Amino acid sequence: MHDSKTTATPLAYDERFRPQLHFTPPTGWLNDPNGLVYYAGEYHLFYQHFPRDTVWGPMHWGHAVSTDLINWTHLPVALQPDDLGYIFSGSAVIDWHNTAGFGPQAMVVLFTHHDPHDSKQSQSLAYSIDRGRTWTKYAGNPVIDTPSNLRDFRDPKIFWYGDESAGGRWVMALATTSAILFYTSPDLITWQPGGSFGSGYGARSGVWETPDLFQLPVDDGPDTRWVLLAGVGDGAPAGGSGEQYFIGSFDGQTFTSENEKDTVLWFDYGADNYATQSWSDVPHGRRLVLSWMNNWQYGRAIPTTAWRGAMTMPRELRLVRTPSGVRLSQAPAPEFQAQRGQPYGRSNFTVPAGETLLLPPLGLVFELELAVDLPEAAAGTFGLRLRTGADQHTAIGCTPGARTLFIDRRRSGLSAFHDDFPALHSAPLAAQDGRIRLRLFVDRSSVELFANDGTVVLTDQIFPTGEEMQVELFAGDTPLTISRFDAYRLQSARFSK
């Protein structure tokens, strides 16, 4: 048995593009987060993994644990392909009332078996009764067989719905072509079909994948909404795959959106956020999520070495009331404040029109927070340039006239590995009380940008070739007034095996 507390050996994790705060596999390919569950003081992270190569292949479930969402210990691969096929995406719960009969507090995962010969997809189960260290696949797999008329039928996300003891049941959300199907079960083994959601709703430019469904309070008050997440395989705002969400209600059988059919809500406007999943069983009602920080469009070609694929920072979700309706608000888990070095802060200063202000060096991994006053007459594009060298930089900018916020990675470093990589990605953004607030997390090969209380988010990978660390502010055609600016170098997380 492999116990993280006694045998962990630190990994160097020091290659040029190796993320210092984002989860990556030691070697091999990674895509979707799977089986996110909190149990006995540990956050479990399973993930779509091909250990033998740095491209997608026969899918396994890689596994790691963390006590703080920052430092991770890799554990042995949890699930290997078998006679029923590859182990595609799925989720985990703790079976507190032993409904399945596997033993007290069993950790149970539901995943998709993908048969590589005929592409059939069915849902299967595995469980662990030793804190996720060893796994047994259920002898009666699959627990939901392939319906004859469906090709895409995958990515079960399960949760307990209803009363703790009586009248409650397990619910599964499952993705098919452009809809989410719901199933219910008393014991995680026998499943009955419930309702479905999708028909005509949201972005339908690609296959829907990796759903999630959960309830959250609005503005931390007594009013609540259900949030349905659905990955869209193609045609997202930055191109390729992206994550959309719906706000509405759930009655135990089906989800109903409270918005018009053609309302599309994007979880992230950058190119690199997909397959978002939330952790089950987190204490105090926190809704923590993780996404694959990559894109099916070019994900197989990104120029990393021993590994390929990273996760976003774990983010905490809230719902907020905005002028256009109830919306998600995201922030990196507050646990990351522990990584901050000496703060550098300034208040109320101005960068003259058309000029640039160089900031003190912040290293390769840092956090920036700034509040910009936005007068009615603000003109041109203002923002920040980071990882700036003679021939490269990544720009983060705001164009108030066009009401947009963007990340421009066209000159960010290595980008010729795929035609779709070099691009400018933008999101709609309006000032709030005459101000724009930005929060930015930069790692060795990524930028995560949270604007206006995290209601607008952009995540992009970048691959700067030099050691350029310069960060500068640039004003547009009118002076740039910064009411508050805070920056921190961030200490690397510890990854061990």
Residues 6+ apart with CB under 8 A from 276: 33, 210, 212, 229, 231, 243, 267, 289, 290, 291
Rounded alpha-carbon distances, angstroms, from residue 104 to 63, 96, 124, 140: 22, 7, 20, 20
Nearest to 397 by CA among 387, 389, 388, 385: 385
What's at 185, amino acid-wise?
S
Q: Is position 268 an interface residue for ligand FRU (rule: CB under 6 A)?
A: no
Q: Is 433 annotated as catalytic?
A: no
In this chain, which of 42, 209, 268, 316 binds ligand FRU, going by CB under 6 A? Answer: 209
Binding mask 340-359 for ligand FRU (x = CB under 6 A): --------------------
* Minimum CB distance to ligand FRU, residue 162 (Å): 28
Nearer Cβ to ligand FRU (311/456) = 311
In this chain, which of 30, 32, 106, 490 binds ligand FRU, going by CB under 6 A? Answer: 32
* Minimum CB distance to ligand FRU, residue 195 (Å): 21
What does the alpha-carbon distance between residue 464 and residue 104 come to, in Å, rounded to a whole number?
50
* Minimum CB distance to ligand FRU, residue 255 (Å): 19
* Minimum CB distance to ligand FRU, residue 53 (Å): 14
In this chain, which of 137, 154, 225, 409 binds ligand FRU, going by CB under 6 A? Answer: 154
Which entry of 3, 32, 212, 453 is annotated as an active-site residue? 32
What's at 487, amino acid-wise?
A
* Minimum CB distance to ligand FRU, residue 59 (Å): 5
Nearer Cβ to ligand FRU (24/73) = 24
In this chain, which of 8, 30, 45, 59 binds ligand FRU, going by CB under 6 A? Answer: 59
DSSP state of 479: -
Residues 6+ apart with CB under 8 A from 425: 237, 238, 269, 270, 271, 406, 407, 408, 409, 458, 460
Binding mask 272-291 for ligand FRU (x = CB under 6 A): --xx----------------
What does the alpha-carbon distance between residue 187 and residue 323 come to, in Å, rounded to a whole number?
42
What does the alpha-carbon distance between residue 217 and residue 301 come to, in Å, rounded to a whole number?
40
How many chain residues interact with ligand FRU (CB under 6 A)? 13
What does the alpha-carbon distance between residue 390 and residue 393 come to, in Å, rounded to a whole number?
8
- The CB-side HSE value for 285 (13 A sphere, CA atoms) comes to 7
Rounded alpha-carbon distances, angstroms, from residue 406 to 142, 187, 324, 384: 45, 47, 21, 11
* Minimum CB distance to ligand FRU, residue 43 (Å): 21
Q: Is the CB of residue 486 less than 8 Å from the CB of residue 353?
A: no
Q: Is position 244 an interface residue for ligand FRU (rule: CB under 6 A)?
A: no
Q: In 10 A of CB 488, how many CB atoms? A: 21
- CA dihedral (120, 123, 124, 129) in degrees, to 10, reads 150
* Minimum CB distance to ligand FRU, residue 112 (Å): 5
In this chain, which of 176, 210, 277, 329 binds ligand FRU, going by CB under 6 A? Answer: 210
Nearer Cβ to ligand FRU (32/448) = 32
What's at 160, amino acid-wise?
W
Q: Is position 88 an interface residue for ligand FRU (rule: CB under 6 A)?
A: yes
Binding mask 2-31 for ligand FRU (x = CB under 6 A): -----------------------------x
In this chain, which of 4, 20, 89, 404 binds ligand FRU, going by CB under 6 A? Answer: 89
In this chain, which of 42, 45, 142, 155 binds ligand FRU, going by CB under 6 A? Answer: 155
Enzyme catalytic residues: 32
Residues that bind ligand FRU (CB under 6 A): 31-32, 48, 59, 88-89, 112, 154-155, 209-210, 274-275
